[in-house]
Structures are given as C-alpha cells and as structure tokens.
Chain A
C-alpha cells in the first residue's frame, strides 16, 4: 500500500484561445494549482508533455523554463515528446520515476500554446508528427490521414454518412458540464449533417479544435501524503506505452490500431482487471474515427462496430461505458501535448466523485488513453479509486 503511486494533486487551465497568456504562464498556472491541490508537496522532478513549442513558440528546453518560472529551480526537469501522446508519455515518465523509488514526488505538466501562429505555420508544425520523408513531404496532413482512415472504415464496414455523428454529439453534450471546456454547448444531429467538410469525409465536428491549455498532476507515494490529505486516494493502477509504424502506409491493416491493443492489454494485465471492469474510458477523440478505432482495438467493441456504441448511447454518462466524460478532445478542446494530462485530471475528478453533473455512476476504475499521430504511439493508464 505505501508503495502505491497516488495522484495527490490536480490542476488545469481552461482550454481556449489564450492570446494574452504565454506558454510559460499557462504551464505555471496548472503546475501551481496541482501543487496546491496536493497540500503543498514540493516535487523533486518535473516532466513536461509538449508537442510543438519549438515550432510554434520558438521555445525548446521546457523543463528548465517551467521549473524556473515556477520557482522550482534546482529540481530535475525534462521534456517528454510523443506528438499528441506527449501528455500520456510524460505521465508515464513521472510514474516510473516515483515507482522506481529514485524520486519521492514528481510533477507532470502538459502544456500547449497554439495561438502564437495561425494557418499554414500551424499546419506545418502539426505535420512534423508524421513521417517527414514519406508522408509530410507528400503533403499528407494529420487531418488528411484521418480522412483516409475514416473513408476506408466507412467503406469496409458499411457505415452510413453520419455514422460517426455519435462521437461529437456525445462530446458536446458532456462539454456542457465542464467549466474548463472550450465548447460548452450541445449540438444537434442536424448540425452535424449540415456541417462543412474540412477534409471529406471529415466535417467540422469530426475534428477536435486545437487550442491553448495546460494541465498538471502531482504524483507521490502513499506514505508521503500529508496526514490531513482531504481527498479519496487515487492510484495509478497501470501504466503502459506502445508504438506502431510511424507512417500509416507501412501497416498491413491500417484500420486496426495495434499500439492501442498492446498498451491496453498490458495495462489491463498490470491492473489485474478485465476490460469489463473499466467503469469509464477517456479515449483520444482528436478525430471521430480514432475514437471508433480505439474502442475496437482496446476490446470494447468488435471490429467495425465501435461507432455503434456511440450511436446507441452506450458511451453516455449513464451508458455502460461512459466516454469523454468532460467533453473529450472534441468539446474540451485539443491542446496537443497537454491532452493526456487533461484526461488524467478529468479521470481523477470522476474518481474523487467531484465531476459535478457529469459524475459517472460507477467510479472505481477509469482508463485513459493518449495517442500520437494515427496511434503510432499509444499510452494507456488505468486509475483506481482506493477503497478507504
């Protein structure tokens, strides 16, 4: 018990277009909130999840930058980068550091500042997550890649034109209960049907909006918590990370996300639970299609049937597997390398029973999953509320 890794503190900024707030300020707000939430525990290590700061803000060396700005100079600090999975990967590094016993308390912050650039500069930066020699130079963007997958998925499994509508409808419905979400307005099925195409068949609602934001969690061992620690204990029951081919065209079956399968399998094994025992799932819905494919590769749905779970309401807050419970990437917003840490903060809120009107009914095991590119990296964590 004393060796369990506990999420002692959580912090987040709202997600949106924070033109007046710089990269370091965003990160600091979340870090400060997480440290205070943990009762003032001072971390010995800082792991920063970020995807694009060198491209978008001309800023590398985020470990020193944020440790310095937060008044933590002297501690160990470094950047963890795995494209859209950077936040999940940073959480895993924090977990490993504390679990190894080399560090008593680690702070994990995910931060992304998109609004320093616009248009082609942002697109070019995002494309650096793909295979530069064989994909980006051919003009393939992450959105085009997701569109190719979605079209193939609809073709292979006879999915109707608005078959994936359930994912953004769910996300927006749940976003209404999250004060930190970028979009807090529900949408109707007709709005989805009428939406402009971004990259056919991906329409405006099939794609999560890139935005600014930062989230942080403070990890420590159970025996290091303050005596008067006020929250129910939430432990990291499992942490697993896997890779797939970087380029989509190198996969024999592009519609099966192997890294999702591997990391989910390892995580379930470590937690000692079956997939049926997961109470809720924070998937990586950067595009609707990745939500569907993740549900399938993780074992929640048979091949080609993931979209039906969204259509049938199984993923709603009262369904059998609540997903994107505070809006997901689609409605909360997609702050790149910070998303994995947002998922952690949101799952912790659910497990503490503090998710307000978005509170799920069963909350012992929550699974969170962070994807980089077309799941070229997949990081899966299972959090558990410890019984007092």
Chain B
C-alpha cells in the first residue's frame, strides 16, 4: 500500500490568491445548552458557538466570504472558471448554492458551478478539485468555499458545538499567490460514523465510534502519509490546522502527529465559534494566514465523516502581508459578538414547529 501513497501535485504549481472568512454575529454559550438540557451539569466541549441570524444561510455566508477572498485577490471575477461550494447545509436539496454565489460575485455566466458534499470535508474537497482545474491549465482561477450552518438535534451532544461559519479560497497560479499549495494527499474509507439521510432534519452519529476509528484514524493517517512522502516532521511546519469538531479532538490529533499546542493555537477557533463543519479546518487556515509570516510552512488536515481526510502542505509567500489587510480578519469576525440565550437560538434556527 505504501507505494501508492503518492502526493497530489498539479503539473502547474497552484496557490492561494485570496482568502476570506465569515462568521455570523450571534453566539450561544455551551452553558446555555447545558442549562436547558442537563440542569447545568456535565462538561462543556467548547465555550460558545456561532449562530446564524434569521436572514443568513449558507448562500449569504458564502457570498460574504467570497467577497472577502476577492477583495484580497483583486482579480476580475469574470476570470473565475469554477465556483464550488462545499456544505452539509445547502438551503436547497435540488438547486445549487454555487450559482447564486457565482451570480452575486459577478462570476457568471462563463464558469463551472457546483455544490460539493462530503460531510465536514466538502470544503477541502472543493479546494483539491480547484487545484486540479488551475493546475491543469483548464482555468486561471477557481473559487472553493466551505461553509455551514450545522444542524444539531436539540439535546444531542452535538448541539453544544454545531456552529456556523466558513471560508472561501480563490486559487490560481502559484506565482500570483500569497501561499503556495505544494501538495495534497487524501485518505478515504467507508466508515459510517456520522450521517443524515434524505428528509431527516438532524444528523445521527455513532457516539465514541466518531473518535478512534473515524476522526483520529483518518486525520493521523493522512497527516502521516503527507509528512512521510515529503520527508518532513512536525518541526518543519510553523503552523498546523486540523478539523475541529470540539476543543479536545484537534489538540489530541496534534499531539499524536508531534505538533505542539502553540503550532495549532492560531487556527484553533472551535472553542469560540463551534464546529463549522465544512468550514472548520479552512476557517482555521484563514486565521493562521492572518498572522503567518512569509516563509512559514503550514500543514492542514481536514476530516469529513463517512469518512476521509485531505492533507495540505502550504508555503506562505511575501504577498500575504499586504493582501491580508484588504479584508476583515477572522479574529475581527470572532470579536463581533452578540450573545443570545437558548430561546432566541431556538427561534433563529427554526427549531419551533409553527405548523
């Protein structure tokens, strides 16, 4: 098997031309969920999660993030040849999110547009596909978005963390980039740890099964294969970002792969915005790019249930310093904060059946 662990590398080097994050303003503290469901008892997996407002969904939030990416990239949106949105909360079952986003940012009509689905790694899946588009020369620019307004069943363990937010990445030729994506590697198996069937409102999960054989196995296998193929260790990277469903999982995954808590600190946003599912790893990357220095190397590993991980080896270029100032930083979205109580959350998320 080892000989087939080849890295994915395009024939033409590809990089990040612009990036943008979006986090809605509202915050539901985990203690509020505990107050309602457990009488305030039990441990809390995070501090609080971001909640979308009444007029927000994956379409509006993707547009916000895409506009931030374009503001940083300063390119003509008609040059974009793919607008791909990964999410598990697309507003429509049939009708793409991506056409609405493409229209809103002025990328229509000469473009691909499609929605991606792979639980929490739909966003990085769209990025890998975009690398293919740009790297093959089929497109000069491609836009990959991972965005979610995650669903948590009332009272379920996931309700504490199911948050909202995500990021957009405009990919293009490496020579124009603020960070070069040097290679990627994907690791996928049939592992039923978390799912939501058609017409179901909330996902189900296999309790502890979501940890060992799902999250940890896939993240560490993808991360290890990436580093083995590159001949690198954790010390060769300045920063690392792992999919973050709660605070402990990425911390433990980092330790298992030899990374320190300092290396993951800038991208570890789950304690204050929750698990943003398809946006979780990549919004961590935006926060890391917000503070990275030229020459810094970053390892990002996403995880999607069902299950799989995409690993990225990223090298930051000089352009990062100027471009990151052109749009709101991820931490600015995080500090833009209005706390709500559980009842308001129930109203905003449409959890009361009105008819």
Chain A stretch 5-53: residues in CB contact (< 8 A) with chain B: 17, 19-20
Q: How far is the CA of A196 from the CA of B42 in the complex (A)?
A: 8
How far is the CB of A278 from the nearest CB of chain B, in Å? Answer: 38
Q: How far is the CA of A388 from the CA of B42 in the complex (A)?
A: 56
Q: How far is the CA of A118 from the CA of B206 in the complex (A)?
A: 7
Q: How far is the CA of A20 from the CA of B212 in the complex (A)?
A: 11
**Is A118 in contact with B207, judged by CB distance below 8 angstroms?**
yes
Q: Which residue of A lies closest to B207 (CB)?
A: A118
| Residues of B with C-beta under 8 A to A115 | 209
**Is A196 in contact with B41, judged by CB distance below 8 angstroms?**
yes
How far is the CB of B120 from the nearest CB of chain A, in Å? Answer: 20
Q: How far is the CA of A17 from the CA of B210 in the complex (A)?
A: 12
Q: Is the interface of A mostly helix, strand, loop or mixed?
A: loop
How far is the CB of B35 from the nearest CB of chain A, in Å? Answer: 16
Q: Is there a chain B Cβ closer than 8 Å to A119's Cβ?
A: yes
| Residues of A with C-beta under 8 A to B206 | 118
How far is the CB of A163 from the nearest CB of chain B, in Å? Answer: 22
| B residues lining the A interface (CB < 8 Å) | 41-42, 206-209, 212-213
Q: How far is the CA of A17 from the CA of B211 in the complex (A)?
A: 12
Chain A stretch 159-175: residues in CB contact (< 8 A) with chain B: none
How far is the CB of A124 from the nearest CB of chain B, in Å? Answer: 16
Q: A196-B41, A196-B42 are in contact. Are A19 and B207 (CB under 8 A)?
A: no
Q: How far is the CA of A118 from the CA of B194 in the complex (A)?
A: 12
**Is B207 in contact with A119, judged by CB distance below 8 angstroms?**
yes
**Is A20 in contact with B41, judged by CB distance below 8 angstroms?**
no
Q: How far is the CA of A242 from the CA of B331 in the complex (A)?
A: 68
A115-134: CB near B (< 8 Å → 1, else 0) gives 10011000000000000000
Q: Which residue of A lies closest to B41 (CB)?
A: A196
Q: How far is the CA of A147 from the CA of B212 in the complex (A)?
A: 32
**Is A20 in contact with B207, judged by CB distance below 8 angstroms?**
no
**Is A19 in contact with B213, judged by CB distance below 8 angstroms?**
yes
How far is the CB of B158 from the nearest CB of chain A, in Å? Answer: 13
Q: How far is the CA of A19 from the CA of B41 in the complex (A)?
A: 30
How far is the CB of A346 from the nearest CB of chain B, in Å? Answer: 26
**Is A17 in contact with B208, judged by CB distance below 8 angstroms?**
yes
> Besides A19-B209, A196-B41, 12 other CB < 8 A contacts?
A17-B208, A17-B209, A17-B212, A19-B212, A19-B213, A20-B213, A115-B209, A118-B206, A118-B207, A118-B209, A119-B207, A196-B42
How far is the CB of B14 from the nearest CB of chain A, in Å? Answer: 37
Q: How far is the CA of A196 from the CA of B41 in the complex (A)?
A: 8
Q: How far is the CA of A196 from the CA of B213 in the complex (A)?
A: 27
Q: How far is the CA of A17 from the CA of B207 in the complex (A)?
A: 11
Q: Which residue of A lies closest to B214 (CB)?
A: A19
